[in-house]
Structure 1
Amino acid sequence: MSDSTQVKELEARKQGWTEKVEASLKKRPERKTEFATDSQITIDRLYTPADLNEFEYEEQLGFPGEYPFTRGVQPTMYRGRHWTMRQYAGFGSAEETNERFKYLLQQGQTGLSCAFDLPTQIGYDSDQPLSRGEVGKVGVAIDSLKDMEILFDGIPLDKVSTSMTINAPASVLLAMYIAVAEKQGISPDKLSGTIQNDILKEYVARGTYIFPPAESMRLITNIFAYCAKSVPNWNTISISGYHIREAGATAVQEIAFTLADGIAYVDAAIKAGLDVDQFAPRLSFFFNAHVNFSEEIAKFRAARRIWAKIMKERFGAKDAKSMMLRFHTQTAGSTLTAQQPDVNIMRVAFQALSAVLGGTQSLHTNSRDEALALPTEHSVLIALRTQQVIGYEIGVADTVDPLGGSYFIEKLTNEIESKVWEYIQKIEDLGGATKSIERGYMQKEIQESAYRYQKAVESGSQVVIGVNKFQMKKEPPQELMRVDPAVEQLQVAKTRKVREERDNKAVEKCLSNLKEAAKTDANLMPLMIDAVKAYATLGEICDVLREVFGEYQAVATI
């Protein structure tokens, strides 16, 4: 509203209405004395145009596909094409995961998303003593190019977009993917997909790091440079707020810390000599869709607007694609409960809907039984069908930004943006994301938020159905998925066979070349591709880099 007289009249009418309502509360009180989002943003009883008195449409909202992209990165959004329905999958052996990939594609999934087991995530082969008991448990075991060949057997990589949740050894897994594609007769420029490749959030929230920050950032910028020339359709990083949120962060912290990490990656790439408009269009993000429905929608819209301003005003990007915050969303695993697991279906549906109303480009819906085990085929099908119902049946994909202009959503978007900027400035004052991580600032903020949430659950002020309200006594589910313990023995045997049958002199030469190059400022991606083609294992490649780079030791926070 721009007419000050109208605003004052509306504010006066709202005040009169509020007084009447509050007088009636003596007989019929509200459910709580205070209402707030998960980020402790106060929720008013009613929102009117007066709450958006200073709102500037062009500056804060604009049109879809145009700066500042609050309403979406594409002009027609889902009227043109649905978001990529990309269910996360990976367990046991490459053979088993290949079967699950094919099943999901047959059921209408439009992109692959690969989970790797813990040894793979931290750069160990399956026969490394530290891998014992973890092979194939939380994802698929990948030790060499042979495993990658099996994983994508019968899946044309020029027809399918693949996302890989891998960070510390991301360059090695990308090298394997490129090599598999070449074996299929597909050149790197025909590949599309994403590697997570976000090491900063590993230091903050997840822990699957290998190398120190500076050396890790070097590997990341090597990927940026290599892909800009050779794999132009590949998203070279998925800057992840998901794991930050799962560790206990609020919605505001999730966006602030993720975008601060994004600033650090852009800074590092520019310092490495890359032009911002050369690599920025291939940056992508990964966010969490949590349970506070309205806050999540506003969070996604605010994130787009903030990132557009950062890229334009701070980094001087000229290409509109460099200013677009494109993101994948996963529903919140931390909200799933082992109690009454069928309730998780509803949680996931509403979380997925918030991501769609917030304008996501890609979406994974968690399965009902993930608080208990890896998802069964039946459970993952329900999760996929949830996305399909949202996309095809309920009509929310028929217009762009359906909640744009809502007094509440626009006010909440503005408030989230303001609080995010405060955090970003604090991180800048500490010397940037890397310095704030080294000092334990982000970690401590997340820990405090997680503690406040847990206290609220235990006191009952934060209701979790089946956990602290509406509990039921029921037998635990029987039909859960379990990884066969024999998978580890088979994987170890397979890896040792690869070492026996390959040309070990060629492997030694490739690893020696990689080691010497790691001591210089050379781009290591071509050397990694040579090594994986010779069937050097993931662990062997990472061990060479460990020798040169050293290993990161976690920072204690108090």
Structure 2
Amino acid sequence: MSVKKIETSSGIEIKEVYKTCNPMQELPAEFPFTRGIQKDMYRGRLWTMRQYAGFSTATESNKRYHYLLKQGTMGLSVAFDLPTQIGYDSDHEMSDGEVGKVGVAIDSLKDMEQLFDGIELEKITTSMTINATASTLLAMYIALAKKQGADLSKISGTIQNDILKEYAARGTYIYPPKASMRLITDIFEFCAKEVPKWNTISISGYHIREAGSTAVQELAFTLANGKAYLKAALEKGLDINIFAKRLSFFFNCHNNFFEEIAKFRAARRMWAKITKELGATDERAQQLRFHTQTGGSTLTAQQPINNIVRVTNQAMAAVLGGTQSLHTNGYDEALSLPTEEAASIALRTQQLIAYESGVTQTVDPLAGSFFVESLTDEMEIAANIYIDKIDALGGSVNAIEQGYIQNEIAAAAYEYQMAIESGEQIIVGVNKYTSAEKVNPEVFRIDDSIRIEQTQKINQLKAERNNKEVSLKLDALKNAAKGTENLMPFILSAVEEYATLGEIADVLRDVFGEY
């Protein structure tokens, strides 16, 4: 088969990969994968273009998903509201004022059916940003796939399922760390057998960075957490050459163009070494695959149109760093959930980079740059100092329980804010090049009546379902949680009988307690 020649607009041929005359120089798809995990990278296949979306009810979010799919998005990325994230049904008193606000409200399999109405799960990939209740939302997704008649061996997507960064940076945890780690490794084990293409965890630096960490801290704390998950799975007796292939990462892309590129290159190299040290011999188990989202905390409410430029800069860095998947933020997200116009511009930003910039035409185009190579090395050295400190404390779980990681992030956030206030760190439109004009952009608001609507749906569900069967399934889950069995089959059985997310979380609260 002849390979299509790629040329510049001037007719100069572009090679798949460039290297120096050094015969020892690393190539893409070779250990330790600094230059990328695919031999041809974007010449063979572009990154997956995702748009993070979810708000209000499942029905309303479903309309946005169909809109995004028509605009050319390649995969869906689901945002859940706060009650869903922390295991409360919409009718719970703790849910008041939060239903449907920062994501979609999912109370039962019925909501999941409405969320993906008209969308064949076998034909798309879905990323779900969910942690403490990840097991339940994954069970709902699997139950829906089964109802659609899908082949579970072909279902692909990702659950975030990264509870350690919740304790360190974000706060949507429910159970104590050790009980949470059990749920995570149960998911690893279950999916390896039942849903082999599913990415069982997306180890997230994104929220660590949003909480105020530096790029080096994001890199170090994320990989240290990844190391903790590897060790937990190994202690459960799982094969690293199987389960490590289904781990993925989720990074932030901030403003400093070259630092972000170096961060991604260093991350691949470091993870390859970590997995190898822990026994991985399969190259696919040594490779770091990651999704990137542009930096939400970098967006400004002042002069919001400037955010289009920020997002473009960050997206370009993610692509040059070799991301497998990318979400670009809407320019209005410092003000509200993104409008359809903002979501469309964000997606077009990715498409413009992919098809018009030329940066996809060769693998690792910045390789060999004195600056980029040196910065990559320095990022690795600095991040390893942190990882060695965390190892000395007994790993990420102990470091989090002792407050070490949280304190380091807080100190970095304080220093950054002080630099902005002193003018040492310039933010265009905020502390320099400000303007007096008043801007009143269109914002996207969610009505509080959503809670009433969701409550009515829950009441109807409980009136129609087989409540005796639900009780039996929840009792079985409680007994399993008291023992050592894998909990995923019990959660799936309860979900299929239309047990609600809150009912399942309450059963586990009774057994594990709350943190």
The correspondence for 1:319, drawn from 273, 276, 282, is: 282
Shift of 1:58: 7.8
User: Which whole-Å deviations, capped at 9, do the CAs of 1:445-496 have from their partners, x for residues lacking one?
Assistant: 0000000000000000100011100111222324111112221211111111
Secondary structure (helix, strand or coil) at the match of 1:143 reads coil
Instruction: Output the amino acid matched with 1:109.
Output: T
1:398 corresponds to 2:398: no
Q: 1:57 to 1:436 in 2, by over 3 A?
A: farther
Residue 139 of structure 1: aligned partner: 103
Instruction: Output the amino acid matched with 1:122.
Output: I
Residue 426 of structure 1: aligned partner: 389
Shift of 1:297: 0.2
Residue 302 of structure 1: aligned partner: 266
1:398-417 correspondence to structure 2 within 5 Å: 398-417=361-380
User: Distance in 1 between the 2:91 and 2:21 partners?
Assistant: 60
1:535-546 correspondence to structure 2 within 5 Å: 535-546=498-509
Residue 162 of structure 1: aligned partner: 126
Q: Which has the larger radius of gyration?
A: 1
1:379 corresponds to 2:364: no
1:487 corresponds to 2:418: no
Residue 464 of structure 1: aligned partner: 427
User: Which whole-Å deviations, capped at 9, do the CAs of 1:264-286 have from their partners, x for residues lacking one?
Assistant: 00000000110111200000000
The correspondence for 1:250, drawn from 214, 227, 233, is: 214
User: Which whole-Å deviations, capped at 9, do the CAs of 1:209-228 have from their partners, x for residues lacking one?
Assistant: 00000000000000000000
1:517 corresponds to 2:469: no
1:210 corresponds to 2:178: no
User: Distance in 2 between the 1:158 and 1:275 partners?
Assistant: 27
Residue 79 of structure 1: aligned partner: 43
Runs of 5+ consecutive residues of structure 2 not aligned to the other structure:
1-19
1:502 corresponds to 2:465: yes
The correspondence for 1:547, drawn from 488, 505, 510, is: 510
The correspondence for 2:93, drawn from 107, 129, 136, is: 129
Q: Which moved more, 1:418-427 or 1:473-482?
A: 473-482
Root-mean-square deviation over aligned CA pairs? 1.1
User: Distance in 2 between the 1:252 and 1:516 partners?
Assistant: 43
Would you identify which runs of 4 or more consecutive aligned residues in structure 1 move more than 3 Å? 55-59
User: Which whole-Å deviations, capped at 9, do the CAs of 1:405-446 have from their partners, x for residues lacking one?
Assistant: 000000000000001111100000011000000000000000
Instruction: Output the amino acid matched with 1:290.
Output: H
Instruction: Output the amino acid matched with 1:212.
Output: P
Residue 173 of structure 1: aligned partner: 137
The correspondence for 1:283, drawn from 237, 247, 253, is: 247
Secondary structure (helix, strand or coil) at the match of 2:231 reads helix
Secondary structure (helix, strand or coil) at the match of 1:417 reads helix
User: Distance in 2 between the 1:131 and 1:307 partners?
Assistant: 39
Residue 63 of structure 2: aligned partner: 99
Q: 1:183 to 1:57 in 2, by over 3 A?
A: farther
User: Which whole-Å deviations, capped at 9, do the CAs of 1:67-110 have from their partners, x for residues lacking one?
Assistant: 11000011100001110000100000000100101100100000
Query: TM-score when scaled to structure 1?
Result: 0.88
User: Distance in 2 between the 1:415 and 1:131 partners?
Assistant: 45
User: Distance in 2 between the 1:373 and 1:410 partners?
Assistant: 39
User: Distance in 2 between the 1:489 and 1:351 partners?
Assistant: 40
The correspondence for 1:69, drawn from 20, 25, 33, is: 33
Instruction: Output the amino acid matched with 1:474.
Output: E
Q: 1:132 to 1:57 in 2, by over 3 A?
A: farther
Instruction: Output the amino acid matched with 1:244.
Output: I
User: Distance in 2 between the 1:510 and 1:495 partners?
Assistant: 18
1:527 corresponds to 2:490: yes
Q: 1:179 to 1:540 in 2, by over 3 A?
A: same
User: Which whole-Å deviations, capped at 9, do the CAs of 1:293-344 have from their partners, x for residues lacking one?
Assistant: 00000000000000001111x2111110010000000000000000000000
User: Distance in 2 between the 1:276 and 1:348 partners?
Assistant: 36
1:352 corresponds to 2:315: yes
Residue 31 of structure 1: aligned partner: none
Instruction: Output the amino acid matched with 1:135.
Output: V
Secondary structure (helix, strand or coil) at the match of 1:189 reads coil
Greater RCO, CA 8 A, separation 6+: 2
The correspondence for 1:330, drawn from 273, 287, 293, is: 293
Residue 10 of structure 2: aligned partner: none
Shift of 1:529: 0.5
User: Which whole-Å deviations, capped at 9, do the CAs of 1:5-27 have from their partners, x for residues lacking one?
Assistant: xxxxxxxxxxxxxxxxxxxxxxx
User: Distance in 1 between the 2:453 and 2:438 partners?
Assistant: 34
Tell me how many residue pairs correspond in the alignment. Answer: 496
Instruction: Output the amino acid matched with 1:90.
Output: G
